[in-house]
């Protein structure tokens, strides 16, 4: 259990292909299952509708942060929890970052989502670095409790 | 008020739990309490360089997030670990994580086709 979600995946496709799938709003929409109103532009809000079966009534809204070609794409949003009973406007926003690296003609993609504590991202990262040792040391203890049934 | 916040299990309550955990001293306190025994502030202060006031302040944050619960016994307050909020945020992170897992699997078949 950590305050940051990190996923790493190796894709058998070149950087340019992965970059397009991430940042072309139509391509992004296809695999992410969202119909976006327009292209991603740094600093601007991206809007659309979720296209995931059963959740079409939900709106998508994210603020694009960084687009560094074939390296980094990031946005802030209300965490990806497609629960129709949740009012997403009251959710703290989190930061989602897609980082790309070339590897053997393919691409290593790392996705992180952070900021679940609702502390502004800059501060939070600093706090997390400072606390990393603390987290690691205490998590076993806590995990044991959390994992305990009922 | 802390009980209300903790039981609501909404986004704000979750953010409060994450924020409460984002501090070394508080993690250390939870670590001590997670051992299972209820402890007084003096017991929690044992072996640490922190003052009772500092510990009380951190315990208040943890109590506000519902991670610890205090009960007055005689002249002192005893603090107890409450695992429910941590279970809740773990389940929440697992859910968000699972959604990413699925989305990235779709991305993989999309770019590799």
State how far residue B74 is from chain A, nearest Cα, in angstroms.
28
Q: What is the residue whose two structure tokens read 């949740």? A: A86
Average pLDDT, chain B: 85
- Taking only the tens place, the pLDDT of each residue in B65-103 is 999 999 999 989 999 999 899 888 888 888 888 888 899
Q: How far apart are CA B87 and CA B97, in angstroms?
A: 15
Nearest to B112 among A11, A22, A81 (CB): A11
Which residue is closest to B84 within chain A, CA to CA? Answer: A146
Average pLDDT, chain A: 78
pTM listed for this prediction = 0.75
CATH topology for the A5-147 domain: Alpha-D-Glucose-1,6-Bisphosphate; Chain A, domain 4 (3.30.530)
Residue range A48-77: mean pLDDT, rounded? 90
Q: Do B96 and A113 touch (CB under 8 A)?
A: yes
- DSSP for A85-121 reads TS-GGGSPPEEEEEEEEEETTEEEEEEEEE-TT-S-H
Chain A positions touching B103 (Cβ under 8 A) are: 31-33, 80
Q: Do A5 and B31 touch (CB under 8 A)?
A: no
Q: How far apart are CA A138 and CA B88, in angstroms?
A: 18
CATH topology for the B2-112 domain: Arc Repressor Mutant, subunit A (1.10.10)
Ordered by start, the domain boundaries in chain B are 2-112
Q: How many CB pairs under 8 A join A and B?
A: 126
End-to-end CA separation in angstroms for chain B: 54
- Taking only the tens place, the pLDDT of each residue in A110-137 is 999 888 877 654 444 444 444 444 444 4
**Cα dihedral B91/B97/B99/B104 (nearest 10):** -170
What band does A145 get if pLDDT is binned at 50, 70 and 90?
A: very low
Q: Do B27 and A91 touch (CB under 8 A)?
A: no
């Amino acid at each position: 259990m950590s305050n940051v979600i990190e996923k790493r995946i190796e894709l058998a496709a070149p950087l340019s292909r992965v970059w397009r799938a991430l940042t072309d709003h139509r391509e992004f929409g296809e695999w992410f299952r969202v119909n976006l109103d327009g292209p991603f532009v740094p600093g601007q809000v991206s809007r659309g509708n979720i296209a995931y079966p059963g959740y079409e009534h939900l709106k998508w809204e994210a603020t694009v942060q960084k687009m560094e070609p074939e390296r980094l794409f990031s946005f802030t949003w209300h965490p990806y929890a497609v629960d129709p009973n949740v009012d997403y406007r009251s959710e703290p926003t989190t930061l989602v970052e897609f980082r790309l690296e070339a590897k053997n003609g393919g691409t290593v993609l790392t996705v992180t989502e952070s900021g679940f504590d609702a502390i502004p991202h800059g501060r939070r990262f600093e706090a997390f670095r400072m606390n990393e040792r603390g987290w690691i040391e205490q998590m076993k203890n806590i995990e044991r409790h959390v994992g305990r049934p009922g | 008020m802390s009980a209300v916040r903790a039981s609501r299990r909404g986004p704000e309550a979750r953010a409060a739990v994450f924020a409460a955990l984002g501090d070394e001293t508080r993690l250390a306190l939870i670590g001590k309490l997670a051992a299972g025994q209820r402890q007084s502030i003096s017991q929690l202060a044992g072996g640490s360089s922190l003052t009772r006031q500092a510990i009380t302040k951190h315990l208040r944050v943890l109590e506000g997030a519902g991670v610890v619960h205090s009960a007055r016994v005689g002249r002192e307050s005893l603090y107890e670990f409450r695992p429910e909020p941590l279970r809740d945020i773990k389940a929440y992170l697992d859910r968000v994580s699972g959604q990413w897992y699925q989305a990235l699997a779709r991305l993989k078949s999309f770019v590799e086709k």
